[in-house]
Structure formats: C-alpha cells, structure tokens
C-alpha cells in the first residue's frame, strides 16, 4: 500500500483551517488519506483521534480528545466531524465498574465541548485510555485476512513482526478500552494493536507517525499474503457468465421482497457485481467452502448479514430457477430465524427481529448480487461483499477460515449503537421500487422523474434523443444524485431496442416495478393534408411504442411476482380531440385502449394499469415540451398570441383557471404507483378541468 503523506499537502491543511488547532487540521489530513483507501476503510468504518489542549471559557487549560463523529466518512471528514470531549473526565471512566451503552453515550454527550456536535465514535474510550496523541484505526482487508484464520497469532507475528499487541475480539465499549490500555501498559514498546476479527490500531505522537505505521503494517500484511499465495489456477465448476441475468435477477428480486406485519410490501434494490475476478472466484470448485462463511469484521453484519446465500442456477430453465431461488431463500430464512431464537434464549434478552432475508447472494456464472432497501444500501453491501471475497481468497493459502462466534455476531447485529447507523426514518412510499419513464427528454418526464425520486424510487429515463435525455437526467441528478437517476437510449418503436434497454435495466438494479409509457410526438395537419408517412410515424411512437414497452415489461413483472404499476401518460385528447390533430388524438386513444386491455390481462399478476390524461404542459425547469414545440407555433398564429399569451389562454379555458405543471402529472403517477387505493383501469385527468374531456 502506497504511503501518500506529503508534507506540503499537510501544511496546506493547517493553512486551510486557521480557526482550529494545527494538530486537528493534520488529523483531518491523514484521516482523509486513510479514508481514500477502500482496502482500509469502507463506508464509514474505522475511526481516528487526536488529543490537544485548549484554553476554555474561564481561562483554564483543558485537555481535549477530538475523535471522529458517528456518521462521518473519513474520506471527506472536516474539523467539525471531530467532536471534542473533556479528556480528563473520560479517563476517570476507567475506574467505573460497569457502564451501560445508554450511560456511555450520555457521558459522551454531557462532556462535549459543543452540544451541537455529532455523537462521538463508540470506540471513544479506547482513544481516551491510550496515551498517544494520534490514534488511527482501520478494518484493513489484509489485516483481517490474517486474523480470521487458524493460528492467527503466528501469521500476525510472521507478517508484522514482534513489536505488536494482539487481542481477541471484544465488543466496543469500556471492556475493550480497558483491555487495550492494559495491553499497552504491559508492553509500552508496541506501536500497533491488532484486534482479531476486527482491525488494527496504530498510534504515534504526531500525525505522520501514526499514519506511517498504519501503511507500513498493512503493507507488510499484503506482502505476506502475496508471498503465501499458491499461484495455481483453480479448477472451475461452472463457466463464468453462463447464467442469464434477465431471467435470474427478477426472480431473485421477487423472492427477496416480503410483507411486513403492517401489510406494507418491502421491495429491495439489487446491485450486481460481475467483473472477471468475481466471476472467476465464484466459478472455483472450492468457492462455496471459501466464501459461504462469516463476515470479515462484525461491523459489516448490519450491512450484509453474517452469511451470504449461495445460489446455483447454471443450466436450469426458468421454472427450475424459480424453484431453486424459492428453496434457497426459504432455507436461508429458516436458518436465520433459528439463529435469532437461539441467541435470544441463550442471552435471556428481548429483541425485535430484523427481516431474515439475505443481503448478499453469490451466484456462480452470474456474479455477486447485493440487496438493500435503497440503491445506496445495496451498493454498500456490494462493496463490502466484493472486498470480502477478495480478502478470503487472499487468505485461503493460510488455512481454514475462522469466523467469529454467533453470539458475538448477534451482539453486534442487534446492538442499538450499531443499528442507529442504518437510520430509523419512515420509509418513503416508493422506497426500493424501480421506475422506467419513456420519453425522458421532455418537460412532463422531468416532473414525473422528480416526483418519483422524491417518493424514494430509483428512476431510469429513456429517450431516443440523447441530448434532451441527458439534459433532463443531469437536472434530476443535481438534486437527487447520479446514483438514483440513469439514462437509457431506447427507441420505443423497436422491439429489439426495448429488449436491450430492459435487459440493461435488470442488470443494473434487478428488476422493474413502475412503468410510465410517456414517449410521444405530435403532428399538426387536417386529415385532408395528413400524409400517410406522418400518420404512421405518430402512431408508431404514441401507440406502438406503448405496446412495445408494456410487452417488454411483462416478463420482468411476471418473474418478480410482486405486482407492479403501469401508468400511461395519455392525453386530454383521448376524450376531447382537436381539429388538425387527428394523428395525435387517434394514437393516444389507441394507447389508452391498450392500457385498459393491459389492466384486464395483468390483474391476475397483481399489476395495476392506469391512465393519466394531462393537458397544456409547456415546459419545466428550462426543458420544453416536445409536443408544444410542434403545436405551439401554429396555435399562437391561429389565436394571434405570444408564448405567454398562449399559456394564459389554456389557463383560462379550464374550470379551475389554473396552470397545469409537470409536477402535477408526477404527483398523479406517484399516487397510482404507491397503490394507495385498489385501483386499475382508471383514468385520472390532470388538466385543470376540461368539461369536454371528462372521462365517460
């Protein structure tokens, strides 16, 4: 591992933060160096600290411990991410006989310098009891690859030398802090302490020394592992890439969904990792033995569960795949439930059981599949699982893997101070759902996408016009983040283009829950002047396009078996057509009728199909409506109006005298997609009230 410490950069950090202690600025610098290395720190793992002296409000000198705050990522941490605590008081807690979690957190919060600070790390007492000025702690992959083996102590000394301390795994809190302090006091020559099944602590009197030691010891571990690698090519039990994702992933995603006691269905997002290294690792004959065991460090259990699900589906047809997924998940849940019951009974405690679904599924021939209630959660689980596979593979030449005992895993998984990292916010109405919106380069799509994202959905926008599509997606990503918005070039009139787009979507997130056929074009001409070519083009996009995307979505929805929602953006013209607008009105009426047929045919699978009849939406956030780009000039000429006058004309003609916005259409889509009422085959006008367009 490369040492990235640069003295000029370090001093630049001191200059960048003139209002804090120089040592805290250096603490920020080396913390970011550590946080930038995924092999050291993943998704908020690890912590760092520095001890400094200030003059307090009453003029007294006071020793302060600045330690990483809970929820902060070392890779982007700033001075405010290090809450300061009264160090002298914290050290007195070593004399306390016992300290509950709640009381420990209370003691931390009541001895902060700033009451608005984030909660200090749960390992604060370790940093307080050790005397060193700078302390670095990571869950380095190479270190835990050594600790999670038989005869770990021998491997650690051979790799790192004798000038280290080693402790068995101890839950964070007062007992761990005491054990760390006692070990160091008995052996003050050590400059690092390794905690089995957990990670490594290094320390020094300056930021560079603590950081240098971390990089040095991790590099020694990496070199040791590389030197012990067998170097042989393993035999393969299954051909990498031999499983069809478009079949397996929707079946798996449907199997992973579950209904809570409240009756709410929870659907999980999937993230798939299938690079060459992962596929080759899972294809090994000994892959199941190597990878189906416990987490590298118990900190991971809240993200990944302790065990992955091993799923073999290569060579199976769709029905056999469905049976294999169902039996695999049933077995996994049964084993998890037994673990929970056994631990609760053994510990004589009462706990609310978490769901028993796996978060990591290993599928030879397909790859690593991770699940989460959001794309972010699934991505975190996938990152951890990918590092876990690599670490277990590197450590395999050292002998059998030795996981942490289940009682320790249970303590961490059901520890309130760990679960708080996951958050307890009420789920958004479309959390875990995936939506596909066609015609994604227009104004209405912008409003639909915005409201779906606000409701918690993962959104794919499609269009044939890449420039307009990217404009909309970038606009949405600026607000909601690029990981939640994806663009797909798709020609809705082409069965092949739709098939490819649907397959790409499934590979990215596992399946589809909400389809919004929204693509449409317009043409202004009286029937006498309407060319066959123009009529066919409008019909192909507005009607055939709706047919193609619904047909393309049906296999995904059926394989998932969790229902779903199709919301067609029809038009006020379905019920109230306009002169010189025959192609558009006829095509929209056809699409509307297709929606009713789909409602009849898909109800048996729990899929709801509804229609929205919108009118007079001109633009949204600088993105124009493609329809009004075509229709607007003719309508302005015929009424002798400018653009603002035309908008006012349509506002005044509806019963409510209101402007209809793209967000209003988005709200209607979310209403149907969130299944607040048992409704299918319905039409909802979003037009301010056009009497001629009342559904009838």
Is the pTM above the cut of 0.75? yes
pLDDT > 70? residue 488: yes
User: In sequence order, which ranges of 510-581 are alpha helices (DSSP H)?
Assistant: 532-539, 545-560
Q: How confident is the model at residue 241 (pLDDT cuts 50, 70, 90)?
A: confident
d(CA 223, CA 227): 6
Degrees, nearest 5: CA angle 137-102-380: 45
> Residue 233's pLDDT band (boundaries 50, 70, 90)?
low
Using the predicted structure, report yes or no on whether residue 635 has a pLDDT greater than 80.
Answer: no
Residue 116 pLDDT class (50, 70, 90 cuts)? very high
Contact 198, 152 (CB under 8 A): no
Classify residue 679 as exposed, middle or buried by CB count within 10 Å of its CB (0-12, 13-18, 19+).
middle
Task: Report, in angstroms and rounded to the nearest whole number, the Rg of the chain calculated over CA atoms.
Answer: 30
Name all domains of the chain by residue range, CATH numbers in brackets.
7-228 (3.40.225.10), 245-422 (3.40.225), 434-693 (3.40.50.720)
Torsion of CA 649, 652, 656, 661, to 10 degrees: 20
For 310, 483, 510, the CA distances from 506, given in Å and listed in that order, are: 20, 15, 4
In order, the DSSP letters of 78-123 are: -GGGS-EEEHHHHHHGGG-S---HHHHHHHHHTTBS-TTSPPBPTT
Q: What is the pLDDT of residues 347-386, one digit of tens each?
A: 999 999 999 999 999 999 999 999 999 999 999 999 999 9
Query: What is the per-residue pLDDT across 559-604, written as a single tens digit (0 to 9) for each?
Result: 999 999 999 999 999 999 988 999 999 999 999 999 999 999 999 9
Backbone φ and ψ of 461, nearest 5°? -110, 135
φ, ψ for residue 271, nearest 5 deg:
-125, 130
Query: What is the average pLDDT score of the chain?
Result: 94
Asked whether the predicted pLDDT for residue 142 surpasses 70, the reply is: yes
pLDDT score at 240: 72
How do residues 143-193 score in pLDDT, each as one tens digit? 999 999 989 999 999 999 999 999 999 999 999 999 999 999 999 999 999
Confidence at residue 586, expressed as pLDDT on a 0 to 100 scale: 97
Q: Under DSSP, is residue 45 helix (H, G, I), strand (E, B) or coil?
A: coil
Query: What is the distance between the alpha carbons of residues 444 and 571, in angstroms, rounded to a whole number?
Result: 12
Q: Band of the pLDDT at 232, cuts 50, 70, 90? A: low
First-residue to last-residue Cα distance in the chain: 70
Question: In whole angstroms, what is the distance from residue 286 CA to residue 310 CA?
Answer: 12
Alpha helices per DSSP H over 110-231: 124-129, 141-147, 152-160, 174-186, 207-228
Q: Between the CA atoms of 204, 207, 209 and 213, what dihedral angle is there, to the nearest 10 degrees? A: 90
């Amino acid at each position: 591992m490369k040492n990235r410490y640069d003295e000029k950069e370090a001093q630049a950090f001191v200059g960048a933060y003139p209002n804090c202690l120089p040592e805290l600025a250096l603490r920020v610098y080396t913390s970011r160096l550590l946080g930038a290395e995924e092999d050291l720190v993943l998704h908020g793992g690890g912590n760092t600290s520095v001890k400094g002296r200030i003059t307090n409000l009453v003029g007294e000198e006071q020793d302060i411990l600045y330690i990483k705050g809970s929820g902060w990522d070392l890779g982007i941490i700033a001075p405010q991410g290090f809450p300061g605590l009264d160090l002298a008081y914290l050290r007195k807690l070593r004399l306390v006989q016992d300290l509950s979690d709640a009381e420990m957190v209370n003691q931390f919060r009541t001895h902060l310098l700033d009451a608005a600070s984030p909660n200090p790390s749960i390992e604060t007492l370790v940093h307080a009891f050790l005397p060193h000025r700078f302390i670095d702690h990571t869950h380095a992959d190479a270190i835990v690859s050594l600790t999670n083996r038989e005869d770990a102590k021998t491997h650690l000394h051979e790799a790192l030398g004798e000038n280290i301390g080693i402790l068995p795994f101890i839950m964070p809190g007062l007992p761990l802090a005491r054990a760390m302090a006692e070990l160091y006091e008995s052996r003050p020559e050590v400059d690092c302490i390794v905690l089995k099944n957990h990670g490594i602590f290094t320390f020094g009197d300056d930021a560079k020394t603590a950081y240098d030691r971390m990089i040095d010891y991790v590099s020694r571990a990496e070199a040791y592992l590389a030197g012990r690698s067998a170097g042989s090519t393993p035999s393969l039990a299954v051909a990498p890439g031999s499983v069809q994702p478009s079949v397996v992933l929707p079946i798996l995603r449907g199997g992973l969904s579950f209904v809570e006691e409240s009756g709410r269905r929870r659907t999980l997002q999937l993230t798939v990792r299938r690079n060459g290294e992962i596929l080759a690792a899972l294809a090994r004959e000994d892959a199941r033995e190597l990878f189906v065991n416990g987490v590298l460090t118990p900190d991971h259990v809240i993200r990944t569960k302790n065990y992955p699900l091993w799923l073999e589906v290569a060579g199976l047809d769709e029905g056999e795949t469905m049976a294999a997924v169902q039996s695999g998940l049933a077995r996994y849940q049964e084993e998890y439930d037994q673990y929970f019951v056994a631990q609760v009974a053994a510990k004589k405690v009462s706990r609310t059981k978490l769901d028993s679904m796996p978060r990591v599924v290993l599928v030879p021939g397909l790859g690593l599949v991770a699940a989460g209630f959001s794309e972010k959660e699934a991505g975190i689980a996938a990152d951890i699982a990918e590092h876990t596979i690599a670490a277990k593979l590197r450590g395999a030449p050292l002998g059998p893997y030795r996981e942490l005992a289940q009682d320790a895993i249970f303590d961490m998984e059901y520890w309130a101070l760990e679960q708080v990292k996951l958050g307890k916010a009420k789920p958004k109405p479309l959390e875990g759902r995936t939506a596909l919106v066609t015609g994604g380069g227009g104004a209405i799509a912008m409003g639909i996408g915005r409201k779906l994202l606000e409701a918690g959905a993962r959104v794919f926008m499609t269009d044939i016009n890449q420039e307009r599509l990217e404009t909309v997606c970038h606009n949405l990503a600026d607000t909601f983040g690029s990981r939640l918005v994806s663009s797909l070039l798709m020609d809705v009139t082409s069965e092949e283009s739709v098939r490819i787009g649907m397959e790409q979507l499934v590979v990215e997130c596992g399946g589809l829950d909400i389809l919004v056929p929204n693509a449409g074009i317009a043409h202004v001409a009286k029937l006498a002047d309407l060319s066959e070519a123009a009529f066919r083009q409008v019909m192909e996009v507005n009607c055939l396009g709706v047919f193609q995307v619904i047909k393309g979505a049906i296999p995904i929805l059926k394989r998932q078996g969790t229902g779903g929602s199709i919301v067609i953006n029809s038009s006020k013209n379905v019920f109230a057509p306009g002169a010189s607008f025959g192609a558009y009105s006829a095509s929209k009426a056809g699409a509307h009728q297709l929606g009713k047929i789909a409602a009849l045919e898909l109800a048996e699978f729990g899929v709801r199909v509804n229609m929205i009849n919108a009118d007079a939406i001109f633009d949204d956030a600088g993105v124009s409506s493609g329809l009004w780009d075509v229709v607007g000039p003719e309508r302005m000429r015929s009424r002798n109006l400018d653009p603002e006058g035309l908008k006012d004309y349509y506002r005044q003609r509806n019963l409510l005298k209101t402007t209809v916005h793209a967000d209003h259409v988005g709200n209607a889509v979310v209403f149907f997609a969130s299944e607040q009422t048992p409704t299918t085959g319905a039409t909802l006008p979003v037009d301010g009230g056009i009497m001629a367009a009342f559904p009838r």
